[in-house]
Amino acid sequence: MSTKSSPQARLLTALIVLVISMVVSYPHIRDWHANRNAQSTPSLLSEAFRSGERAANNQKYEDADQAYQDALALIQEMRDAAPDDETLRKQEIEILDRLLGVAENRKDHAAASEWSGKALQSAEEHFKSRPTHTFYRNRLLQTALKAFEHSPRPFPGNVDVLKKSLELIAETDKDIRAIWLIRQGMADAWRRIARTYAEQKDGDAMAAAIREGIQWSRPTKHTQESRSDTLRMESAIIQSGRELAEKLGNVPLEDEFTLALIDVRSQQTRLDPFKVSFQNNLAALRHNMAKSYRDTAPDKAEELYELAVQDLKKAYDQQPGDVSIHKSYLRALNLRGRFFSDNKRNEEALKSYQTAYETAASLPEQMASKRLFYMGNYAILLMRTGRSKEARVVAQEAYDFAGSVSAKSPNSETARIDTAEAGLRLARYLKRRPNPQRKKALEIAQSQASILKYSPTAKPSQGELETKLKALIKELRRR
């Protein structure tokens, strides 16, 4: 019998071998295709993301939107295969953030609302899987703020969405307040909620939100950042509350936040006594609060005026060349003097005005008007307390000083008016003297009236001065 097989038999054998080989190698083919797909998807994702970045940088926002949506679809496909992959989680959050940014740039409010909502949903999902992870806490916080900003829900629904996220973060663990980044974000979030309540004219809810923000801004024993940083954040939150209360016309709340801000500024000035802005702001706050207390609690008002003078004197003694501190110190002395004067405590007022008069002598000449102001106040109190001779001496000094400044700047309207005011005051004081002094008073009044007459200006104060000088001249001539 022949051993050679027919062509049909050989073909059949080859087919059987091929089928067996395919069956044996199928798992390997399957794995090869899986590996190939696994390798290509990250590549496609990377390319889609880069395309989105290029388009966004070139302000081609429609192209960027499409590219980022392609990237998001690829990430979600990959996450289906690996739901616990942390890198994919973060990439999903980043892509959603990019899509929201594109919608904002396109001013597409509907898209911004949609993407911010999806971003918040994603952030909450990832946060719940790892609630103590700082990245996911912070991302939830920032995403919640964006969702709050773009929320399609009317008030109070938008606030409720943000509050829910804040509560989730706050409940994670007891040491969360030690994390600076979280505390800063939480405090700012409550400040935003306060602004929303203020827009609704709800002062109590606004104040409650600000107080919550203040609590988040304050440090714990585990806090790592510097005390100056925490005080800066706390003062910003309190200042917002104070401004909102002022806009609402809620004086009790404004006073509450002013007192809180005074406390923080006091701590800041102790930490940095050479920070001029802290010193000036603290004095201004004390003066505002003292003004509020003048009628209802004069003892508290006096204490605040005294504290302002004391602290600014220390600052002035340490930095005598700082014009800003110099001016603030003079203002504090003047306000304290006015408080005493209004309360008929003229001797105490006189001391305060005298110190201001003496301190103003070292002001630079370009601030002549301010120096003349303090000289005038001192002269007025001297006359009021029966020290007419000393009052005339100070008034003469002010007139001579104003004249010297005006002579150096003959075209200065301010210098001219300052000289006329000083001359009017001196002439009034001199008219009380015998004839020789009244004669001098008339000469001064006529001289200043003549200067003003031939130096027209649109300033109302000059017209008022002319009227007063003419009345004085008429009175002096009549006698």
Q: What pLDDT digit, counting tens, does each position of 258-300 carry? A: 999 999 999 999 999 889 999 999 999 999 999 999 989 999 9
Please report how many Cα atoms fall inside a 13 Å half-sphere around the Cα of residue 468, on the Cβ side.
17
Under the banding of pLDDT at 50, 70 and 90, the label for residue 434 is low
> To 10 degrees, what angle do helices 251-271 and 203-217 make?
20
Architecture of domain 39-167: Alpha Horseshoe (1.25)
Q: What pLDDT digit, counting tens, does each position of 230-260 carry? A: 999 999 999 999 999 999 999 999 999 999 9
Q: What pLDDT digit, counting tens, does each position of 355-365 carry? A: 999 999 999 98
Q: Which CATH number fits domain 275-362: 1.10.1740, 1.20.1530, 1.25.40, 1.20.1730?
A: 1.25.40
Under the banding of pLDDT at 50, 70 and 90, the label for residue 458 is low
Under the banding of pLDDT at 50, 70 and 90, the label for residue 343 is very high
Question: Per-residue b/e over 337-375, b at no fewer than 16 CB within 10 Å?
Answer: bebbbeeeebeebbbbbbbbbebbeebeeeebebbbbbb
Nearest to residue 68, comparing CAs of 41, 103, 37?
A: 103
Instruction: Judge whether 39-167 and 275-362 match in fold.
Output: yes
66 pLDDT above the threshold of 90: yes
Write down the pTM of the prediction.
0.79
Going from N- to C-terminal start, the domains of the chain cover: 39-167, 174-272, 275-362, 386-479
